[in-house]
Each structure stands twice: as structure tokens, then as C-alpha cells.
Structure 1
Amino acid sequence: MADDRQGWLRCLLGGAVFVVCMAGTTLPTPLYPLYQEKFGFSELTVTVVYAVYAFGVIGVLLLAGNASDTIGRRPTLLWGLGFAAASAVCFLCADALGWLYAGRLLSGFSAGLFTGAATAYVMELAPPGGASRATLVATAANMGGLGCGPLLAGLLAEYAPEPLLLPFAVHLALVTVSAGVLLWLPETVEERQPLSSVRPQRPALPAQVRAVFVPAAIASFAGFALFGVFTSVSPAFLARYLHVDNHAVSGLVVALAFFASTAGQLAAGHFGAARSLPLGCAVLFVGLVLLAGAMYAELLVLVVLSAVVGGTGQGLAFRAALSAVAAAAPPDRRAAVISALFVVAYTGISIPVIGVGLLADPLGLEGAGLVFIACMLALVASAGVYLLRRMRPAVP
């Protein structure tokens, strides 16, 4: 019993470290309007600054996605915290646009190292027989951490002094404490190798996986694209069109999408992957329609509903996509196939977001958003129809 308590304490502490790291990746979200006011840049620049993060994640996934299996969980996560601290320092020093690009890139490196390694670490720290609950801790820490970032920054920016400094100073302090916690926790990889043994991990797509991978990738792309647009331009939309100038409110709206995704991922465990993927596509479709309605009618309640519904659909679809792809992949290629899915998902965070930024100048933010939503609706609908056809029993 004492060993179980200690195991769960370690598991929860590992989850807390995970939360701190992921919160840093979304911390700037409600602050982008303030940076626009300070530096005078366009919506396109906002979306590019945001998308640089995804490029950092993809780079790490391709070059060092298996690092923690090689050098150990703790060294990998300490590197991740180091990048998180460096990112916070960049934002603290930001007196020109280049600092924002550097901060977002370093934040991407941090998330790229943490996403797989921290998930595995949290599960390994749990006592025997606790795999299911540990998976819940890891899932909640990942998406919950992403939600805590804009919520924390929004509250500090609205109700505390120095809105462009204090959120990052607080995060830097949390990262320092997390490093101390990580040094206290045990290593779970028994056979470790030196850093020089880490090799680039190329994504792979064996023939037998493709039928499952294509709809899973489309749903993941669309879900992450929704998150990308929501976290990069929704604060500006709320301020400009809905006159919501309260940074805490804009941070809360974004946070709701991530918290809803956590709930969707948990629900996917009850429905099973086969049902959750088409169901997730349907719910994501409704969330996108609500977002279109919010932009057209300029109603805050629809923005909130789109965050909750769209986030739930993203969580359902992505967890189901990950499970389906992992189950279909041959064991010796599973890591490479999962890496390919993450690369597609993080491409969804970056490319469509930049597209919205490009269209925002000629069409306005509302028009650009509606074009984006139309494209995502077509993608989600095609994936959903394909999945439903596959589920339909063959006629003899």
C-alpha cells in the first residue's frame, strides 16, 4: 500500500511537470493583441509567430523523437525544461519581433521533447496495475496544461502589473521548481545510451496502414488546425469584433477548447476507436459550424460553444486516430507511423493558420476565418463519410 501511494505521488508529480511545460507553449495566446499594439505588426505576423512553434515541434519529432528511449526520460525532459526556460527568457527580453520568433521556436523544441517522453514517463511512474489511470493523468496533463497557459496569462495580464513580463516570470519560476521535482523523481529507462546514439526518426507509412491512416490524418489535421486558428487569432477577433478587451476572458475562451479536448479524449476511451473517430468528425463539424456562426453573427456565446464543441470533437477524433493508427501499424514500425501522424497534426497547426493570416489583409479577419472554416468542413466531412462507408457491412 505504501509503495502504491509513493508510485501515485511520483506519477502525479510527473504529470505536474508535464502541465508546467505544456502551459508555456500557449502562454502568449491572450497577449498577442498587446504585442500587436507594442510592435505594430499585422495578423499575418501573429499567425507566423504562432506557427513557428509547430515547426519547432515537427523538427524535434523528426530529429529526436526517440531520444528518451535512448538517453532516458529524465535527461530528455530536463532538456525540454531547459528549452522552456530559454523560451520564457526570450519573451522577457522581447523588445523586437525577433525575440518572439525565437521564443516560439524554443517553445516548440520543448513541446517536441515532452509530448512523447512525458507521456511514457508518467505511465511508467505509476504503480503496477495502474496503466489506465496513469493514461488519464498523462492525457489530462497534456491538454490541461495547454489550457492552463492562456488562462494563467490572461488572468495575470488583466489583474496584475506588467502583462508582457509577469506571465513569463511566473512560468520561469515554475520551470525551475519543475526541474527540482524532476531531479527527485527516479529514472525509468534501465539501459541508457549516450546522446550521440540518438538518430533521426523518419516517419513511415506501410501499405497496410494507409486505409486507416488517411481518414485519421485528415481528422487530426482539421482538429489541430481548429486549435491553431483558435489560439492564434481568436483574442484579436474577440477584441476587434466583439469588443471583449478583458484578457482573462479571451484566455478562458481558448482554455475551454483545450479542457473540452481533454474531456473528448476521455470519452473516446468509452466509445472505442472505431466509433470515436466518425463521432469525433461529426462533433468537430458541428464545432466548425458554430465558429462560422460566431464570426458571422458576432456573438460571444457562439464563440464559447464552438470552443467547447470543437474541442470535444478534436479530443474524440485525435485519441481515436492515434489508437487506430497504432493498432494497424506493425510493431516494428509503430513509432515511425505515430510520428507521421503527429507530423500531419502539427502541420495542421501551422499551414492553415498562416493561410488565415495571408487572407486577413484582403478579406478581413472574419472573411479569412470563414474561408478557413469552409475548407476544414470539407475535409472533416470527407473523412467522416469515408469512415461511415468503411463501417457499413458489406452487402453479399
Structure 2
Amino acid sequence: MDGDRRSGWARCLLAGAVFAVCMAGTTLPTPLYPLYEEKFGFSELTVTVVYAVYAFGVIAVLLLAGNASDTVGRRPALLWGLGFAAASAGCFLAADALGWLYAGRLLSGLSAGLFTGAATAYVMELAPPGGAPRATFVATAANMGGLGCGPLLAGLLAEYAPQPLRLAFVVHLVLVAASVLVLLRLPETVAAPDRRPLTAVRPRRPALPPRARAVFVPAAIASFVGFALFGVFTSVSPAFLARFLHVDNHAVSGLVVALAFFASTAGQLAVDRVGVRRSLPLGCAVLFAGLLLLAAALHTDLLALVVLSALVGGVGQGLAFRAALGGVAAAAPADRRAAVISTLFVVAYTGISIPVIGVGLLAGPLGLEGAGQVFIACMLLLVAAAAVYLLRRPVPARRD
């Protein structure tokens, strides 16, 4: 029995490692954007659009094939995701014009869209009986930790190794190849999967039953703001650090972004102690504080405040988003729960596209700092409204 449990946890951890590798690829370009700006001569608007294309890819997969792994099986869906990740890395390696960056980011979004739900389910299903709480931790750490490792790895290699625009993607291709070998040795967890992939591609309209709407609105707002904060951090913070704080070290830029994702992991884990009812309003409050710190950082040009805003904002995002998922799942009817959660993810990923492009549009007439302040003011209003609503109508306990 002990041997079975150990082998179960080994499979769970291996699946988590594959999950982390895929998610790391989605944030690899983050500290490299200033180098791409210099190479191709484009503006902050272009950077934000390149970044936002990723979110469009994720949303497309969620709407068109969000249930793919439930029908074709976890491993085939994840192998397709790794294939898109490899193709994305290939685009960045071949990039001699802006179009390659758009293609790379779109493919990265398709990869993440396939992985987010399928890998989470796979990690939990591979865990031994009674290991659901620990498996949830593995999935959470793999997701957000992988997102944090991407800019950290790319920043270190860009600063201290040759070929700054190529080496990180070569390393990622090696890790993707190793992940394919790992997946091929792991068991399938879906009983009698459909071997015809096209049958899994079924467009899914966003669903919001009346019973879930009261909880969904503040949860969606908090998720939107949290993801928008991450979107701005990962798209324009390297340029801000270089231009206004004179931080030209790519490793430092990557570390600052990575800290936000690592802090989000800590925030998500804290929900188990705080509880879903308190975590969503508390997450809104911490997000509010993180946004204020970011505003102060833009005003004072202090690196310490940028780092602090990444940490505080990351914790707030983690608290708010995991509590939002729990609250929405509790309020949704059991037979509509997956569709409602997918709708929440669509709103969340919209948060890392539309506001980020808005910052890019405003950066021309207002400058990067001015555009950032307008973004922060809008997000503060949204998160404050969500927090006030939640204080009046708390998130209900989960019902199955």
C-alpha cells in the first residue's frame, strides 16, 4: 500500500513538472521585450498587443475546446499543448520580423488554454486516494510557479549567457521534449477516451445561470483586476524598469515579474487557512493596496516600491482568484459548474488583454507613467466596487 501511494505521488509530481514547463514557456518573453523593441523598433503599444495576443489564444481554446481532455483523454490534450508550446518556441527562435512574435504568442496562448484545465485535472487524478488537498497544492504551485520561472529563467540567461533572444527558447524546447517523454510514460486517467480529436472541439457559449449571478459579478470583477495587474506587470514593467529606474539588468527585470507570480502562489495557498468567505473580500483589499503601491512606484520611480507592489499585488491576486473560483463553484448548479467556471476564466483572461492594450494606447499621448496611473485609477474603482458588494453579500459556502 505504501509503495502504491509513493508511486501515485511520483506520478502526480511528474505531471506537475510537465504543467510547470508548459506555463513557464508562456512568460519566457517577458524580460526580453525591451530587446525586441530595440531590435524591431516598435512602441509600447506593440508590446502590449503582442502580449495580449496570448490571452486571445487562451480564450479561443476555452470557448472552442475547453472540454477536449474530458473526451479525448488528458494525455492527448496535453501532448497537443506541448506541441503548441514547441511551435511557439520555434517562432521566437526564427523571429526576424514582428509577425513571428505575434505567431509565437498566439501559439503560446493555445498551449496554455489546453493545459490550464486538463493539467489541473490530471495532477489531481494521478494523486493517490485521499490526496486531493495536497494535489491541489501541486497543481497550484505548478501553474503559478511555472509562470514565475519563465521570466526568471529568460532574464538570467539573457543577462549572463550568450544569444539573449535565443538561448531561453532552446532550453525550453529541451524541457518540452523531456516533458513529452514523461507524459508518454504516465497513465491515462479518462476512461474510454474518444480517439477522434475533432469530436472534442465543440464550441461552448459562456454560461451564467441566474442562481450564480450574484456571486459571479464580484468574483469576475476581482479576477479581471487581478489578471489585469499581472498583464501590465508582465508586458510593460521591464520597459518601465529600464527607462525610468535605469534597471538594465534583464535578470532583475525577470525576478520582479517572477515575484508577483510566486506571491500569487502564496496567496492561493493562504485561502485554505483564511476560508473562501473571507478570502475574496480580503483579496480585494490586498489587491487595492498593491495597486496603490504600484501608483506610488510610478510616481516616485523607486525600485523598492515596484518590488513591494509585485509582492502585495500578487498575494491579493492569489487570494481573490482562488476564492473567486471557490465561490463561483459553490453558487453554480452541479450540472453547470464547469461551464460557469469556464466563463470566469474567459473574464479573467480578458483582463490580461483589453486593459493592457489600453495602457499601450495611452502610453503615446500620456507617456508610460501617465498611462499606468489611468489604468490604476480604473482598477481601483473596480476592485473597490467588488469589495463593497462582497461586504454586503458574502460568498456562500460550497453546495454540491
Give the TM-score taking structure 2 as reference length. Answer: 0.97
Residue 197 of structure 1 is matched in structure 2 by 199
Aligned counterparts, 1:158-169, within 5 A:
158-169=159-170
- Residue 112 of structure 1: CA displacement? 0.0
AA aligned to 2:266 is A
Between 194-203 and 322-331, the greater mean CA deviation after superposition: 194-203
Aligned counterparts, 1:340-355, within 5 A:
340-355=343-358
- Residue 272 of structure 1: CA displacement? 1.2
Residue 38 of structure 2 is matched in structure 1 by 37
Structure 1 CA distance for aligned equivalents of residues 362 and 371 of structure 2: 5
> What SS does the corresponding residue of 1:349 show, helix, strand or coil?
coil
AA aligned to 2:393 is R
- What CA deviation, in whole Å up to 9, does each residue of 1:102-154 have, x standing for no partner? 00000000000000000000000111110100000000000000000000000
AA aligned to 1:141 is A
Gaps in structure 1 of 5+ consecutive residues: none
- What CA deviation, in whole Å up to 9, does each residue of 1:153-181 have, x standing for no partner? 00000000000000000000100000000
- What CA deviation, in whole Å up to 9, does each residue of 1:268-322 have, x standing for no partner? 1211111000000000000000000000000000000000000000000000000
AA aligned to 1:44 is L
AA aligned to 2:270 is A
Residue 126 of structure 1 is matched in structure 2 by 127
- Residue 391 of structure 1: CA displacement? 3.9
- What CA deviation, in whole Å up to 9, does each residue of 1:27-79 have, x standing for no partner? 00000000000000000000000000000000000000000000000000000
Structure 1 CA distance for aligned equivalents of residues 368 and 198 of structure 2: 47
> What SS does the corresponding residue of 1:204 show, helix, strand or coil?
coil
Structure 1 CA distance for aligned equivalents of residues 162 and 358 of structure 2: 34
Structure 2 CA distance for aligned equivalents of residues 203 and 339 of structure 1: 7
Structure 1 CA distance for aligned equivalents of residues 393 and 79 of structure 2: 44
Residue 288 of structure 1 is matched in structure 2 by 291
Structure 2 CA distance for aligned equivalents of residues 74 and 202 of structure 1: 25
AA aligned to 1:367 is G
AA aligned to 1:15 is G
Aligned counterparts, 1:48-197, within 5 A:
48-193=49-194, 194-197=196-199
1:232 alignment partner, one of 227, 231, 235? 235
AA aligned to 1:180 is L
Structure 2 CA distance for aligned equivalents of residues 220 and 273 of structure 1: 14
Residue 244 of structure 1 is matched in structure 2 by 247
1:219 alignment partner, one of 222, 228, 231? 222
Report runs of 4+ in structure 1 exceeding 2 Å deviation: none
1:376 alignment partner, one of 379, 382, 391? 379
> What SS does the corresponding residue of 2:207 show, helix, strand or coil?
coil
- Residue 7 of structure 1: CA displacement? 0.4
Structure 1 CA distance for aligned equivalents of residues 94 and 178 of structure 2: 21
- Residue 191 of structure 1: CA displacement? 2.1
> What SS does the corresponding residue of 1:343 show, helix, strand or coil?
helix
Structure 1 CA distance for aligned equivalents of residues 394 and 204 of structure 2: 33
AA aligned to 1:104 is R
Structure 1 CA distance for aligned equivalents of residues 16 and 181 of structure 2: 14
AA aligned to 1:267 is A
AA aligned to 2:143 is N
> What SS does the corresponding residue of 2:351 show, helix, strand or coil?
helix
- What CA deviation, in whole Å up to 9, does each residue of 1:187-212 have, x standing for no partner? 00012112132112222000010000
Percent identical across equivalent pairs? Answer: 83
Residue 25 of structure 1 is matched in structure 2 by 26
Aligned counterparts, 1:309-324, within 5 A:
309-324=312-327
AA aligned to 2:198 is S
Q: How many residues align?
A: 392
Residue 325 of structure 1 is matched in structure 2 by 328
Give the TM-score taking structure 1 as reference length. Answer: 0.98
AA aligned to 2:179 is S
> What SS does the corresponding residue of 2:247 show, helix, strand or coil?
coil
> What SS does the corresponding residue of 1:127 show, helix, strand or coil?
coil
- Residue 390 of structure 1: CA displacement? 1.6
Structure 2 CA distance for aligned equivalents of residues 236 and 243 of structure 1: 10
1:254 alignment partner, one of 254, 257, 260? 257
> What SS does the corresponding residue of 2:205 show, helix, strand or coil?
coil
> What SS does the corresponding residue of 2:305 show, helix, strand or coil?
helix
AA aligned to 1:258 is F
> What SS does the corresponding residue of 1:128 show, helix, strand or coil?
coil
AA aligned to 2:74 is R
Residue 266 of structure 2 is matched in structure 1 by 263
